[in-house]
A and B are shown apart, each in its own frame.
Chain A
Amino acid sequence: MAAADPEIVAFTCNWCAYAGADYAGVSRIQYPPNVRVIRVMCSGRVEPSFILRAFEEGADGVLVGGCHEADCHYISGNLKARDRVEGTKELLALLGLGADRLRIKWVNANEGEAFASEITDFTDTLKKLGPNPLKKTKKKAPAAVPDTEEIMARTNTYLCVECGKCTASCPVARRDPEFSPRFIVEESLEKMHAEVETGPQLWDCLTCRTCEERCPYNVRFSEFIRDSRVEARALGLDGKPTQAGQMYSWMRMMASGGLEQDRLAWLDGLKTKSKATAKSDLMFFVGCLPHFDVSHAHVGSNSLDIARDSVKIINALGITPVVLPDERCCGHDLLFGGNPAGFEALARKNAELIKAAGVKRIVISCPEGYQTLAQEYPRVLKGWDVEVLHISELLAEMLEAGKLSFKNDLGIKVTYQDPCRLGRYMGVFDAPRKVIEALPGVELVEMQHFGPDAICCGVSSWISCGATAKSIQMARLAEAKATGADTLVTACPKCQIHFRCALSGKVPGDRGAVEIPVEDLTSLVVKALGDGARSAPGKAATKKAGKAKSKAGSKS
C-alpha cells in the first residue's frame, strides 16, 4: 500500500461482511482503495493477536466485520468477536495507539453501501488520527544467529559429565518422558556445535534453574536454553506462545518509539510522581500489570491490585514513588523467548526514561522484572547503576528498621510459593518469609518443596503452556493444599495468573484436592496494614472480575 493513505486491514467473515464487500463491488459503490480484506469464516476466528499483529506491521486501522447480532452463521461467533475487540481496544489504549484505530462493524450481505461508507468514514477518522506511530518503512534485517560454540563455552555446557542429575530433578522431565535436559546437552555436544537441538523441547524448558541447583559442574542450563532459542527462531522453529502470541505482539510494540501510552489510569487517588526529588528517588516499576488485566481477565487476574497494593504499601511507608507514564515492558519475555534484540531495545528505552526521571532505586513487585532489571540490564546497558529491589525486600528492610506497623489480625494460615526468578535466580528466599511472619495472626507453613527446592508454577514467558504445565500446576496446588493452609501466597503476578488459570477451567480428578485461593504477598500486607491502605478495588478490577464478563483482550 502507498504510505500516504491510511492503511486499513479488514478481517471479515465469509457469510455477511465479506458478502457485503462483494455487494459493494457488484453495485459498483466506490470507496477509498486503502483497505486490504482478509477473509475468515467467522468474525469469531479473529484472534486479538491478529489485530495487534496488523498494527505491529504498520496498519493504521483495523476493521473487524461480522454478521448482525442474530445473523451469525455459527450462532454466536460475532458476539465473541465483539467482546474480544472491546478487550483489544483497551490494549490499544494502554499502548497509546488509541482505541479509535480499531472498529467492529456488522455488515450484512446486502449492505454494500454500509461496507463502503464504513471504509470511507474510517479512512477519514484515521487521517485525523495520523499514521500509526509503529509504521515501519524498511523491512528489518534478519537477526544475527548466535555462535553456538560461544554459548556452550559461556554456559559451562562443555563441563557436562552426563550424570543425569538435571533430568532427575527437572519438573518437566518428571511429567514428559521425552524431555531431558541431559540429552539436550549431550546432543549439542555430539553435534559438535554444528546445530543446537532445536526441536520443540527447546521451548519446553521452564528455565526455572532447578537443574542448576543440583548440577555438580555448574552447567548454566537455563542460560544455554535461553540463548539457543535465538538460533531456533532464526531457523524458523519458534515456540508456541499462548493466546496466539498477543503478549509478544504488545511487548514488541513497546520496543518501538513514538507510542504515547496511557497506562496509569489505575493509579486513581494514589500518591505518585513522575520525577525523582531530593526527598525520594525511589521508583515503582509497574511492568505489564495493566496489560495482564486485559489479556488475563478471564482467570480473574486482577493484576492491577498488586500494583495498587504496592503503591499503597510504599505510600504507607511515607514515600511518594515515581511511576512513569511511558514505562515499557522490562523485556524478560522477549529475552527468554529468543528475541534478544527486542529485549535490548526495551532495556535501552527503559534506561533512558529512568535516567531522565532521576531515579536511583527501583522497587518492583514482579520477580521477572526484578531479575531482568537487576541482572540482565547491567549485562547489556553501559552505566546502568540503579539499585533494584523486590517489594518483599523493601518491606523486610522497613520492618527491620521498625518503620512498618500492622493493624489488622488476619487469622489465617498460609503457604508460600517461591517464584523462580526471586528465589533461585536472585537468592531472595528469606525476605518474603520475614514479611509473612511479621503479619499479625498469619501462620506460615511450608510446602514439601520450598526455598531452593520450590517447584515452578509451570509456565515461563507465556510459552509452552500445555499438558505438562497443567500437570505441574496441579501437583503444586495439591502440595499447597496438603499443608492445610487457607491461602497460597505468591510474590509474583505471573505465578498468581498461572495458578488461577489452572483452577479456572476443568481439573482432572478431585477439585477439592487442589482448590485453594491464591493471593499476592502485597495484598496480604495491605490487609494487615488496614485503615484505608486498602481502599475499594479499582475500576478495572471490579469491571473485569470473574470469568463471565471476561473480555480478555482476547477470548471468551
Chain B
Amino acid sequence: MAERGSVLVAGGGIGGIQAALDIAESGYRAYLLESAPSIGGIMAMLDKTFPTNDCSMCILSPKLVEAGQHPNIDILAYADLNRIEGKPGDFKVTVNRKARRVDPDLCTGCGACSEACVLERRIPDEFNMGLSKRSAIYVPFAQAVPRLALVDPNECLLLTKGKCKSPCLEACQSGAIKFDQLDETETLDVGAIVIASGAGAHDIADLASYHPEHPNVVSALEMERIMCASGPYAGRVLRPSDGEHATRIAFIQCAGSRDEKHNPYCSSVCCTYAVKEATVIKEHGPEIDCHVFHIDMRTFGKGFEQFRTRASDEYGIRFTRFKVPAVEVAGPDTLSIRYQDEGGAWKSEEYDIVVLSVGLNPPALDAFKQAGVEVDAYGFVTTSIAAPIDTSVAGILACGTASGPKDIPETVAQASGAAARCAALLAGARGTEVSKKEYPEEKELDGAEARVGVFVCSCGKNIGGVVDVEAVTEYAGGLPGVAYTESNMYTCSGESCDRIKEAIAAHDLNRVVVAACTPRTHEPLFRETIREAGLNRYLFDLANIRDQCSWVHSGEPQKATAKAKDLVRMSVARARLLEPLPQLPVKVTPAALVVGGGPAGMAAALELGRAGYQTYLLEKEGKLGGDLRDAPSGAGGEEFKKLMADLDSMAGELEKNANTEVITGAKLAGFSGYIGNFNAIVEAGGKRRELDVGAVILATGGTEHVPTSYLYAKSDRVVTQGGLEKKLAKGFKSKSVVMIQCVESREPGRPYCSRVCCTSALNNALSIKAVSPDTDVYILYRDIMAYGLGEDLYRAAREAGVLFVRYEVDAKPEVLESGGALRVKVKTPQLPVELEIEADLVVLSAPVIAAGDNRELSEMMKVPVDEHGFFLEAHVKLRPVDFATAGIFLAGMCHYPKMVDEAISQGMAAAGRAATILSKEYVMSEGAVAKVDPRFCRGCGECEDACEFSAVALTEVEAGKLVAEVNPALCVGCGMCAVACWSNAIDMENFTDRQIEAMIEAVRS
C-alpha cells in the first residue's frame, strides 16, 4: 500500500487549527479531531493575547471560519481518538464520534433550542469557567465552529430522568434534534499523525493552601473570562462572590509550577500572561490595584521585558518577589496575603480577588502512548533538539504544548513545522486525497442591466419572530433593479441554496442579495452557491437583518422591520453596481531560496528538499552550522554532542539530497519579484547567479554582542560565554568563576531579554562543574530565565553547587582588577553587606543582537525590521514566521534570540508556510484588489507609502512618467491605497467609491 495523502491532526486548539490549515494548503487532506464540541481550544477563551494585547477572538475567529470552510479539512469535533494502528505512511486510526443528538446537516446553530430548554441558564457553562450558566442543549460559544448545538447527556432531563416535555423540539424549526442519536465509531486511513493535544491548565483545586474553594480565588483562565467583554460579567472586573467591583487584585505566580509537589517545571507563559491580565485590568479601571507576587519574572520573549517594564512604570502594577505560601480568607468577599517585602519587612494586605497564575499540565496522551510514543518524566511528548517536532514513533509528530510548555506563537510555529514534516514524509502522496471542484463556466455580463434576486431568510424564528419577513420580501420586489424575490425558512440550508441556483437560471439573475445573518460566516457559502450557478462570486451581497435587526431590536418589531427594509435597500443599491472580478492565477516557480545556513536555515532547506522542492541554501561563510560550528567539541553534555552529530547529518543530507543545493561563501546581491515569482541575484566565489524561486526564507541568525563594560577587552580574564566555551574546549583550571547575566541588556538602550543567556550560563556552569568540581561558580543574575523544561537545568545547577547571587539593575556588579587579581563586587537585595568575590575568570552573558545584514536585506526585500534590527513578523501571535509580504518568511535568531530547537522549529515552520505556496501550480490572487486608472495617476507615491503589503509600486512606464501598479498577487484588498490616492486614481474593487456611495445614498428612502 502506498502512503496516504492525508493527516490526522489530534487537537483543535490554535496549534491543531494552524497545522490543519497548512497541511490542507500544501496538498493533503487534514482530519481535525477535537474532543470538545467546537474547535478553538484555550485561545478561544482568552480575552487578550500578550504582549500586544490583541483581542484573542478577533484574531482567532477568522481562523476558525477558515478551517470550518476549507474543502480539504474535515473537522471531527466532539470526537475522541481511540486507537492507532499501522505504520508510517499508512496509519489506521479509530475515533469515537460522540453523539451530539443534533443532526449537523439540519442544525443552523441558531440557538432557539437553548432558549426553550427547561434548564435554561441552569448549568455551569464550561466556556465561561462555570462563572455563567447555560442550558442542557446549547451552542458552546458564539463563534463556535462547527456552529452546532449539542445536548448535554448528563444534564438533559429527557436523557437523565426520561421526563421532559422537550420544548426544544418545538423550538427547533428545522427538526434537527435527535435524542436517539448514538456515539459512532469511525476509522480513518491517514499517512501521518500530528499530536496537537495541547496542555491543560493546572487545576486550582489542587492548591489547598490558596483556598481555591473561595469564589474570589480564581484561576488565570477564569480571570480571562471575567475580563472579557463577552464573558460572564461583560468585561467588568467583579468579585465572583458578590458581584461588586474589585479594587484590589493579587496574582500569585508559579501556582502549581516550579514546585516539586506539583509541577517541577516552569510553565513559560504565566509570567507574561499575568502582566497582560494586570495591564488589561488597569485599562478597565486605573484605580484597581494589581499586585503580582513572583519568584523570577520570566519575560524572555520578544517584547515581553518591555511589556513588563511598562506594566510597572506606566500602569503602576506592583511586583513583589515573594512566593506566597498561603492565602487567608479575610471574609466572605475578601482574602488576605501575608508577605515579606524585599527589605525583609512582613506585611499583610487584603484583596478582592486572588488570581492563581496556574501553569500547564501535560496533555492526555493515552492513545499515543499505546502506539509507542515516548513521554518524559512529566508526561510531555519526548522530542530532541534537532528534531523538535518528531516523536519517538516515525510518522507521528507533535506540536505545541504537547511536548512542553509554550506560548501561542511557538505553538503556531511548531504547527506549521509539523505541516512541513508531513509534506516531507508524504511527498509521494501529495495531491492524492484533496478534492478539486469543477464549476460551470462563468456567465458573461456584457454590461447587462442588473437583475437582482433577493432572498429573505426567516432563520426559523430568529428573524421571522421579530421582523415581518413577508413585508420585507414584498418591499424588496419594488426596489429598482430587483427582478426576483422570495423568502425562505433557512436560506443557508442546502435546499434553499438549490432554490437560489434555480432562480438564477429561471429569472436570468445576475446579482444576488441574501437578507439573513452575517457575511463574516455566511458570505463564503452564498458566494459558492452563486458560483455553482455560473455567476462570479463577487456578484453577491448580504444584508444582515438578524444580527443587526431581529436580535438587537426584538422589542421593537416594527422598527426592526423598517430597518430590515433599509438594509435590504442598501444591499440592493450596492449589488446593482457589483462587477464580476477575476481571480487571476499567478504561476508559481516550485523552488525556494533559504538565506542563512545556521540550524534554522538548514532545517528549512532540508524539509523543503525532502518534500520535493528545489531549494537553494545560501550561507555567507564557508560552511553550514552558523555560530554553532565554532562550538568546542568537548563542551556540553550528551544532548549537545547528539545535537552536533544531528547537525552534521543534516549538513550531509543537504549536500546529498538532489533537491537541495548549498551555496557557501554566498551573498544576496539583488532581489525582485513577488509571491511565486521571485528573482534573486546571488554572488558566490566572485560569480553572479540568478535564481528563480517561488518563496524565500530569511534565516540570517543573530550574533553575540561585544560588551564594553566589566573590563571586557581590557582584561584577558574577562570573556563572554562564547569565549568561555572555547576555553572549556581546551581544558579548564580556574578556581573561581563569576558569571554576570544581563550584560548591557534589559536596560534602557537595549531593553530586551536575550532569552538564551541564562541557559548558556547554566550549561556552561554545569560543564565547569563536570570537569572541575572544585571550581566555585557564581552566577550574578537578575531573573533566571530557565523557562519551560529548562527549569530542570536550573535545578541541576543549584544541585551541583553553583552559587546564585541576585542583583538589581540599579546596583550592577563591579569588576575590578588590581595586581593581577580580579575582584567582583556585588550588592544583593537580601543581604545588608556588599559581597566581594575573588575571580580567576569573569564570564559575561552578552546579549544576542541582530545580524548586521538584516537592515541591508530589509531594504533590498522591503521587509521590516524592529527598532533592535530583528525582523518583524506579520503578526506576533498567529503569523510568527510570515512577513506581511506574501511569499517571504523568516526563521531563527534573525527574528529574536532563541534556543536551537526553537530556531529549528521555526525553520521547519517557515518551510511549512512556504510549502503552502510551492505545492500549488498557481496561487489565485484575491479578486477584490485595488485597481489603478493610469490616466489619473500622478506618480506621487502616496499609495506606495500607504501599502503595508508592498502590493503597490511606482513604475516608470515611459521617460518622465511614474505610474502606480498593483500586484494582485500581493494585494489584500484593504483599500488603504485608494484612500491615500489624492487624485482618486485608485479604487478598491468590490468596495468601490460608487458602491459605498450608493449604499450611503440608500440609507434614507
Q: Are B974 and A33 in contact (CB under 8 A)?
A: no
Q: Which residues of A contact B142 (CB under 8 A)?
A: 23, 26-27
Residue of A15, A23, A110, A298 near B62 (CB, 8 A) is: A15
Q: B869-905: which residues lie under 8 A (CB-CB) from chain A? A: 884
A80 touches B946 (CB 8 A): yes
B512-559: which have CB < 8 Å to A? Answer: 518-520, 544, 546-549, 551-556, 559
Would you call B229 an interface residue if the criterion is a C-beta within 8 Å of the partner chain's C-beta atoms? yes
Residues of A within 8 A of B978 (CB): 45, 47
Binds B, one of A355-363, A387-395, A503-511: A503-511
Q: Which of A237-245, A378-386, A486-494 forms contacts with chain B? A: A237-245
Q: Are A45 and B948 in contact (CB under 8 A)?
A: no
| Interface assignment of B261: CB less than 8 Å from any CB of chain A | no
Shortest C-beta distance, B14 to chain A (Å), equals: 15
Whether A21 is near chain B, meaning CB under 8 Å from some CB there, is yes
1/0 per position for B559-573, CB-CB distance to A under 8 A?
110110011001000
B936 touches A464 (CB 8 A): yes
Contact between chains at B985 and A466 (CB < 8 Å): yes
Asked whether, in the complex, the Cβ of A45 is within 8 Å of the Cβ of B980, the reply is: no
Cβ proximity bits B100-141 to A, threshold 8 Å, 1 near / 0 not:
000000000001000000000000000000000000000000
Q: By the criterion of a CB under 8 Å from any partner CB, how many residues of chain B are at the interface?
A: 84
Task: Enumerate chain B residues within 8 angstroms of A109, measured Cβ to Cβ.
Answer: 55, 57-58, 61, 143
Q: Which residue of B lies closest to A473 (CB)?
A: B938
A28–B553 touching, CB < 8 Å = no
Q: Which residues of A contact B61 (CB under 8 A)?
A: 19, 109
Stretch of A49-57, A330-338, A443-451 on the interface side:
A49-57
With contacts A14-B520, A80-B946, A467-B936 taken as known, whether A50 is within 8 angstroms of B996 at the C-beta atoms is: yes
Instruction: Judge if A551 is at the interface, Cβ distance under 8 Å.
Output: no
Residue from A1, A80, A241, A243 in contact with B1003 in the complex, judged by beta carbons closer than 8 Å: A1
Q: Which one, A70-78, A160-168, A318-326, A519-527, is touching chain B? A: A70-78
Please tell me if the beta carbons of A466 and B58 are within 8 angstroms of each other in the complex: no
Q: Does B235 contact A (CB under 8 A)?
A: yes
Q: Select which of A2, A9, A26, A241 is within 8 A of B562 by beta carbon.
A: A2
Q: Is there contact, CB below 8 Å, between B936 and A466?
A: yes
Cross-chain contact of B230 among A28, A30, A112 (Cβ < 8 A): A112
Task: Assess whether B972 is in contact with A74, with CB atoms less than 8 Å apart.
Answer: yes
Residue from B934, B982, B1000 within 8 A of A467 (CB atoms): B934
Assess the B938–A243 pair: CB atoms within 8 A. no
Q: Is B993's CB within 8 Å of the partner chain A?
A: yes
**Residues in chain B near residue A59, CB distance under 8 A:** 1003
Name, among B518, B939, B980, B982, the residue most crowded by chain A CB atoms within 10 Å (CB to CB). Answer: B982
Report the minimal beta-carbon distance from A295 to chain B, rounded to whole angstroms.
10
Assess the A50–B997 pair: CB atoms within 8 A. Answer: yes
> Contacts A21-B548, A24-B552, A505-B942 known; A242 to B1003 CB distance under 8 Å?
no
User: Which B residue sits closest to A62, measured CB to CB?
Assistant: B1000
Q: A70-B52, A70-B54, A508-B962 are in contact. Are A40 and B975 (CB under 8 A)?
A: yes
Query: Is B58 within 8 A of A71, CB to CB?
Result: yes
B59–A71 CB distance below 8 A: yes
Counting residue pairs across A and B whose Cβ atoms lie within 8 Å, the total is 251
The count of residues in chain A whose C-beta lies closer than 8 Å to any C-beta of chain B is 84
Task: Tell me which residues across on chain A come within 8 A of B961, comparing CB atoms.
Answer: 467, 471, 508
Q: Once the chains are docked, how many angstroms separate the CA of A319 from the CA of B698?
A: 70
Partner of B57, one of A110, A298, A501: A110
Q: Say which residue of B143, B554, B941, B942 sits within 8 Å of A30 (CB atoms).
A: B554
In the complex, what distance in Å separates the CA atom of A465 from the CA atom of B983?
5
A45 near B53 with CB under 8 A, answer no
Bound Cα distance A470, B546 (Å): 49
Q: Does B687 contact A (CB under 8 A)?
A: no
Q: How far is the CA of A18 from the CA of B999 in the complex (A)?
A: 16
Question: What A residues does B58 contact at CB under 8 A?
Answer: 15-16, 19, 67, 71, 108-110
- A22 in contact (CB, < 8 A): yes
Question: Which residues from B are CB-within-8-Å of A24?
Answer: 547, 551-552
Contacting residues of chain A (187-203) with chain B, CB-CB under 8 angstroms: 200
Task: Kindly identify which residue among A38, A40, A471, A506 contacts B940, using a CB–CB cutoff of 8 Å.
Answer: A506
Query: How many Å from the CB of B355 to the closest CB on chain A?
Result: 20
Assembled-state Cα–Cα distance A2/B1004 (Å): 9
Complex interface: chain B residues within 8 A of A42 (CB): 974-976
User: Residue of A at shortest CB range from B1001?
Assistant: A57
Known: A54-B1000, A67-B58. A40 touches B548 (CB 8 A): no
Question: A556 CA to B943 CA in the complex, in Å?
Answer: 9
Contact B552 A71 (CB under 8 A): no
Is the Cβ of A113 less than 8 Å from the Cβ of B234? yes
Q: Is the CB of B937 within 8 A of A467?
A: yes
Q: Taking CB as reference atom, which chain A residue is nearest B937?
A: A467
Residues on A with C-beta less than 8 A from B937 are: 466-467
Q: Which residues between 34 and 75 of chain B lie within 8 Å of chain A, taking CB atoms?
A: 47, 52-55, 57-59, 61-62
Q: Which residue of B lies closest to A18 (CB)?
A: B520
Q: Given A15-B62, A25-B551, A30-B552 in contact, is the A467-B979 Cβ separation under 8 Å?
A: no
Complex Cα–Cα for A474 and B552 (A): 56
B549 closest partner in A (C-beta): A33
CA A332 to CA B885, docked complex, whole Å:
45
**Is B712 interfacial (CB 8 A cutoff)?**
no
Q: How far is the CA of A466 from the CA of B939 in the complex (A)?
A: 9
Report yes or no: B55 in contact with A110, Cβ–Cβ below 8 A. yes
* Chain B 924-953 per-residue mask, 1 if CB under 8 angstroms from chain A, else 0: 000010000111111111100010110000
Please provide the chain A residues from 32 to 49 with a CB less than 8 Å away from any CB of chain B in the complex: 33, 36-42, 44-47, 49
Taking CB atoms, residues of chain B closer than 8 Å to A244 are: 979, 984, 993
Task: Name the A residues within 8 Å of B552 (CB-CB).
Answer: 24-25, 28-31, 33, 116
Interchain nearest-CB distance for A509 vs B (Å): 6
Q: Please, how many angstroms separate the alpha-carbon atoms of A252 and B587 in the complex?
A: 49
Q: Does A181 contact B (CB under 8 A)?
A: no
- Complex: chain A residue closest to B987, CB-CB: A244
Which 7 A-B residue pairings sit nearest by Cβ, starting from the closest?
Answer: A505-B940, A25-B547, A45-B975, A466-B936, A108-B55, A74-B974, A506-B941
The 29 listed contacts between A and B (C-beta, < 8 Å) are A1-B1004, A14-B519, A19-B61, A22-B518, A28-B551, A30-B553, A36-B566, A41-B991, A42-B975, A44-B975, A44-B979, A47-B979, A49-B993, A53-B997, A57-B1004, A74-B972, A108-B57, A110-B228, A112-B229, A242-B984, A245-B984, A467-B934, A467-B935, A470-B939, A502-B938, A505-B939, A506-B939, A506-B954, A555-B979
Interface residues of chain A, those whose CB is within 8 Å of chain B, are 1-2, 7, 9, 14-16, 18-19, 21-31, 33, 36-42, 44-47, 49-50, 53-54, 57-59, 67-68, 70-71, 73-77, 80, 84, 108-114, 116, 200, 240-245, 298, 464-471, 474, 501-502, 504-506, 508-509, 555-556
Given contacts A68-B54, A505-B938, A555-B982, 13 further A-B contacts (CB under 8 A): A21-B547, A37-B548, A44-B979, A57-B1004, A59-B1003, A70-B52, A75-B948, A77-B974, A80-B976, A111-B229, A114-B229, A240-B983, A241-B984
